[in-house]
């Protein structure tokens, strides 16, 4: 049971669900159901790993405001071990416009500070007490990268909708040996994955939403995994982080890589079918039972 440290990624999100994304013209939309609460990639990964029974610690930024207090209380109530640095700019907030297919437009109505006066001794202690580290591509996390020099355990990063060229992502790519990204901005994703492999990455996983995921190993082996359809698309926010957590859960338990992909697909599907960053039913028992149902002996993978 290796302890995973997750650096960065808590926001307060206002999520508006529409039948389809608005056309680019002035208009009034009279029915726009919404919900709000804790968001972002660090919270999503930490929640999913915690529900899967994996020891995980989140280190992230919140503001001294009602939104930050909500995040702290919410994650504490769900059992997430977390440490926070106060952001003088306040808690980062997003408005996410969603359509019935789970497509999203994210509006960053406030943003976290690009640099923060974090406690180096505290973060160094958290790093030293972990056996796996997830470095999220949050601006203030860049200043923590020098603290990772000589870290003897796996470092993962999630590049999200990386386009293959954006220099912003390079420090995170350089620091990590294990890479997740999506093909949202990569219509030709395989050359980018091959480039990352050639740069010495041990594993590259590219997700394609409802089209599944592709994995490339350091040895040049390609694996494909279809998505697991959700019974209904309720809220796709957090699906990528749940995929990441499911994959990492399998990886840390030394499961075959195809099974890791299957765990990821199941966690992502479970997230899409429920409101919030994770499915309330998510647990290691739920995941293993779902795996038996979808991929067990006699099932098509």
pLDDT at 182: 96
- At the fourth CATH level, the homologous superfamily of domain 4-19+33-163+234-294 is Ribokinase (3.40.1190.20)
Q: Where are the domains of the chain?
A: 4-19+33-163+234-294
Residue range 243-265, pLDDT digits in tens: 999 999 999 999 999 999 999 99
Q: If DSSP codes are grouped into helix, strand and coil, which group holds residue 1?
A: coil
Give residue 274's pLDDT band: very low, low, confident or very high (50, 70, 90).
Answer: confident
Task: Locate 63 and state its tokens.
Answer: 């503001």
Residue range 75-111, pLDDT digits in tens: 999 999 999 999 999 999 999 998 888 888 999 999 9
Residue range 58-79, pLDDT digits in tens: 999 999 999 999 999 999 999 9
The arithmetic mean of pLDDT across residues 103-122, rounded, is: 94
Give residue 299's pLDDT band: very low, low, confident or very high (50, 70, 90).
Answer: confident
pLDDT at 87: 97
Q: Please report which residue ranges of 102-238 form alpha helices under DSSP H.
A: 120-128, 170-175, 189-198
Contacts of 293 by beta carbon, 8 Å cutoff, 6+ apart = 299
Q: Residue 8 pLDDT > 70, yes or no?
A: yes
Q: Residue 276 pLDDT > 90, yes or no?
A: no
Residue range 197-242, pLDDT digits in tens: 999 999 999 999 989 999 999 999 999 999 999 888 888 888 999 9
Give residue 268's pLDDT band: very low, low, confident or very high (50, 70, 90).
Answer: very high
Q: Please report which residue ranges of the chain form alpha helices under DSSP H.
A: 41-51, 66-77, 120-128, 170-175, 189-198, 239-252, 257-272, 284-295
Q: How far is CA 7 from CA 41, 67, 191, 211, in A?
A: 10, 19, 28, 29
State phi, psi for 43 to the nearest 5 degrees: -60, -40
For the chain, give the mean pLDDT.
95
């Amino acid at each position: 049971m290796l302890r995973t440290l997750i650096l960065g990624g808590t926001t307060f999100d206002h999520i508006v669900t529409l039948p389809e994304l608005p056309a680019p013209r002035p208009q009034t939309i009279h029915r726009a159901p919404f919900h709000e609460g804790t968001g972002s990639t660090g919270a999503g990964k930490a929640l999913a790993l915690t529900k899967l029974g994996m020891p995980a610690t989140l280190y992230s930024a919140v503001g001294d405001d009602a939104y930050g207090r909500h995040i702290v209380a919410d994650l504490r109530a769900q059992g997430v071990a977390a440490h926070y640095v106060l952001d003088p700019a306040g808690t980062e907030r997003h408005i996410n416009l969603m359509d019935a297919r789970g497509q999203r437009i994210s509006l960053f109505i406030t943003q976290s500070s690009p640099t923060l006066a974090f406690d180096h001794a505290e973060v160094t202690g958290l790093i030293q007490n972990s056996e796996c580290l997830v470095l999220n591509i949050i601006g203030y996390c860049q200043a923590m990268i020098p603290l990772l020099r000589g870290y003897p355990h796996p470092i993962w990063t999630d590049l999200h909708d990386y386009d293959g060229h954006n220099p912003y992502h390079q420090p995170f790519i350089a620091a990590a040996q294990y890479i997740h990204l999506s093909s949202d901005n990569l219509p030709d994703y395989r050359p980018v994955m091959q480039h990352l492999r050639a740069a010495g990455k041990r594993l590259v996983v590219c997700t394609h939403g409802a089209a599944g995921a592709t994995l490339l190993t350091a040895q040049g082996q390609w694996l494909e995994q279809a998505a697991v359809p959700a019974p209904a698309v309720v809220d796709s926010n957090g699906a990528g982080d749940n995929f990441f957590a499911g994959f990492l859960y399998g990886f840390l338990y030394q499961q075959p890589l195809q099974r890791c992909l299957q765990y990821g697909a199941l966690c992502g599907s479970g997230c899409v079918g429920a409101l919030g960053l994770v499915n309330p039913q998510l647990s290691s028992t739920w995941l293993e039972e779902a795996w038996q149902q979808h991929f067990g002996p006699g099932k098509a993978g």
